């Protein structure tokens, strides 16, 4: 028979006949909720701007909003973030600088600047 060391009691037990007292009992992650990550449908009484009634159900509040032809928009901070700037095209910049240098060497000058 195969035996293994028990961390609960500190003795060796056979794998096929492990004592029930030595099974690790884990406590639930939440004492108040039997299901983790459960989102309730209830909310504080909230005045709906369309019909001026107070609602305590999230689903009813959302249904009234949709029936009125509106859409609930969240408060995601990502929508306030400015769009990312496009990366500079280094090849185009290099070509532009080389063209400007070639024109300067040929004697071309922009009139009106410092004249």
| 15-64: pLDDT as tens digits | 888 888 887 765 655 556 555 677 889 999 999 999 999 999 999 999 99
> What pLDDT sits at residue 35?
59
Number of CB atoms found within 10 A of residue 109's CB: 10
Mean pLDDT, residues 83-108: 93
Which whole-number Å values give the CA distances from 96 to 7, 68, 91, 92, 101, in the listed order?
72, 56, 9, 6, 9
Tokens 């909720």 — which residue?
33
pTM for this entry:
0.37
Question: Which of these, 3, 29, 25, lies nearest to 16 by C-alpha position?
Answer: 3
> What pLDDT sits at residue 15?
82
Mean pLDDT of all residues in the chain? Answer: 84
Question: Which of these, 77, 75, 46, lies nearest to 62 by C-alpha position?
Answer: 46
For residue 51, what are the contacts with CB-CB under 8 A and spacing of at least 6? Answer: 64
């Amino acid at each position: 028979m195969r035996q293994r060391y028990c961390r609960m009691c500190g003795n060796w037990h056979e794998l096929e006949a492990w004592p029930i007292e030595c099974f690790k009992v884990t406590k639930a992650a939440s004492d108040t909720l039997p299901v983790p990550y459960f989102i309730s449908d209830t909310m504080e009484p909230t005045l709906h701007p369309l019909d001026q009634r107070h609602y305590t159900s999230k689903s009813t509040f959302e249904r009234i909003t949709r029936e009125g032809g509106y859409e609930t928009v969240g408060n995601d901070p990502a929508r306030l973030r400015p769009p990312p700037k496009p990366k500079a095209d280094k090849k185009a910049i290099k070509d532009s600088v080389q063209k400007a240098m070639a024109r300067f060497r040929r004697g071309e000058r922009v009139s009106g600047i410092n004249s």
